[in-house]
Amino acid sequence: MHILFIPTWFETPTHPTSGKAVKDLAYALARYGHDLTIHILYQSPESLPLTQTLDNQIELWHSHCDQRGKLYPVWNTYSIRSYNKVFQNYTKKHGVPDLIHIHSYPSLAIAAYFNKIYGIPFFYTEHSSKVAQDNLNYIEKTLIRKYTIKANGVSAVGHHLAHTLDKIIHRPVQVIPNTLDFDYFYPDKKIHTEDLIMINLLNKNKQVDLGIKTYLLWQKHHPHAKLHIIGDGPEKEDLTIQINHLNQSDHILLYGEQHPNEWLHLLQSSACLMLLSKFETFGVVAAEALACGVPVVALENNGINEITNNEEIAILPVTSTEREVLDGIEQVIKKGNVHFINLREKLKSRLDYPVVASQYLSFYNIDSIKTT
């Protein structure tokens, strides 16, 4: 079985964590699906090689798209032509795929085009917070509804997202969660610190400023603690100015966007992860922290409820102040290591590679699954 993924976002040297959920699923299927070949065709404005190989398993095919392609491919014919040119080269090497799996609605048009020209069945999984928040305009909703008619299956990574998408396309949406490599994210308490950590985009939705205010309160009782902020985004410059103004540049550390290899040790050794987004579709970083046995404090943002509940971590109202977030941190840490090791095993039973791979094989109507 030959499957081609077409994600709307995927990692590049400039954005090493973009499309991480898609990459994890590709790894899961390549590792646990019998006789499956997984390749990924993606598009970006960066100048990258036509092909690359991930860990000798998955081939990446890159379609370069300049400024004209910045409009989402839902309606952008330039993007479709760019994709098709690379697809011609791809099929010369690998043949026509048995199925296409697209990730997020901007890639629907190219999947529908390949379905029309080559008769390739396609499956559609939605990840987008824009869909979950129902922020699509009339044209976007109309085109999504039109292109989804031909899809062999539709899924979403969370229940709230599935409910919102169902209202747009008027057909059943299966819920299959994001997956996580529990062999990669694991507890390692050789070094334990009192540090706090945030791993997210730097935009207003993520409320990094609230995290900084919370850290300043935490610092009063933990003077050697640091706040690690991993990520990039439009708020980075303002946050840098704020940190310098507070004379905290030695304690509040901005790292920019990094591959998990670069920050995993910081996460594993942290006292708590803060996920203070007003909205999330899933909250992958919270799952990664819990897989490492690290306590999490989060806001009630829809996505966190796909992973856990308020009895297992600290889930606070979206309107919480820094004092309330600090109280949440102190309460969740008191739950202790045994609690979080047990929670890790509970999450593993739902989100580990073989578990989610099996769900997608059923989604594709492929029942074979490796047992090792």
The predicted pLDDT at position 365 comes to 86
DSSP-based three-state secondary structure for 20: helix
Residue 187 maps to a domain: no
pLDDT confidence tier of residue 69, bands split at 50, 70 and 90: very low
Domain co-membership, 200 together with 345: yes
* pLDDT tens digits, 272-323: 999 999 999 999 999 999 999 999 999 998 789 899 998 999 999 999 999 9
3-state secondary structure 36-55: CEEEEEEEECCCCCCEEEEC
Domain co-membership, 254 together with 162: no
Residue 173 maps to a domain: yes
125-161 as b/e: b if 16+ CB within 10 A: bbbbbebbbeebeeebbebbeebbeebbbbbbbbebb
Q: What is the CATH number of the domain that holds 226?
A: 3.40.50.2000
Domain co-membership, 57 together with 205: no
* pLDDT tens digits, 329-361: 999 999 999 999 999 999 999 999 999 999 999
Domain co-membership, 256 together with 317: yes
Rg (the chain; Cα; Å): 21
Residue 27 maps to a domain: yes
Beta bridge partners of 197: 228, 273
Domain co-membership, 346 together with 356: no
Domain co-membership, 149 together with 221: no
* pLDDT tens digits, 89-139: 999 999 999 999 999 998 999 999 999 999 999 999 999 999 999 999 998
What does DSSP assign to residue 278? S
Angle, in degrees to the nearest 10, between helices 322-333 and 208-221 = 60
Q: How far apart are CA 171 and CA 298, in angstroms?
A: 32
pLDDT confidence tier of residue 158, bands split at 50, 70 and 90: very high
What does DSSP assign to residue 111? H
Residue 371 maps to a domain: no
Domain holding 146, by residue range, is 2-179+352-363
Helices and strands (H and E) in the chain: how many: 13, 14
Domain co-membership, 105 together with 202: no
Residue 185 maps to a domain: no
Sign of CA dihedral 96, 99, 104, 110: positive
Residue 190 maps to a domain: no
Domain co-membership, 233 together with 329: yes
User: What domain count does the chain have?
Assistant: 2
**Residue 182 pLDDT exceeds 80:** yes
Evaluate whether 175 touches 286 at the Cβ level (below 8 Å): no
Domain co-membership, 137 together with 76: yes
The predicted pLDDT at position 78 comes to 67
The predicted pLDDT at position 303 comes to 85
Please state the rounded mean pLDDT for residues 60-76: 63
Which stretch of 44-58, 86-100, 220-234, 255-269 has the lowest confidence by average pLDDT? 44-58
Domain co-membership, 338 together with 358: no
Domain co-membership, 163 together with 91: yes
Residue 369 maps to a domain: no
Domain co-membership, 330 together with 229: yes
